[in-house]
Amino acid sequence: MEHETERELEATLAARRELGKEHEAELVEGFLARIEKEIDRRVDERVARQTRPRHSSINPATLGVCIPIIAIAGGIAGVAGLAIVALALVIIFAIDSRR
């Protein structure tokens, strides 16, 4: 891509020689706009490569810990205990998924 940028710069300089200093600001602005687009494209590419897909944090080990907690809560406090533990686990998993 560097060769293309060099050609664009050379073309801009050649146009300036032909058109004179009156059009210098417009030529420079056009060249800088093309450079800015190229930088944005490269940054977008780099960000896309670095972005990793999110994986679910719920795994069998996590569920293995949750099952006894739910069973104990249900055995001790009945339906109310189940509701409280379920709500607590939902909140914990929601907070964890935001990280």
pLDDT in tens, 40-93: 998 999 888 887 666 665 677 777 888 888 889 889 989 999 999 999 988 888
pLDDT of residue 54: 61
78 and 46 together in one domain: no
- Quick one: how many helices (H) and strands (E) in the chain? 3, 0
**pLDDT of res. 84:** 92
Q: Are residues 27 and 46 in the same domain?
A: yes
In this structure, are 44 and 20 located in the same domain?
Answer: yes
E strand segments, the chain: none
- 41 with 67, same domain? no
43 and 59 share a domain?
A: no
Domain count, the chain: 2
Which structural domain range is residue 81 located in? 55-99
Report the C-alpha gap between 38 and 94 in whole angstroms.
Answer: 39
| Residue 1 reports pLDDT greater than 60 | no
Q: Nearest Cα to 88, choosing from 58, 66, 55, 72? A: 66
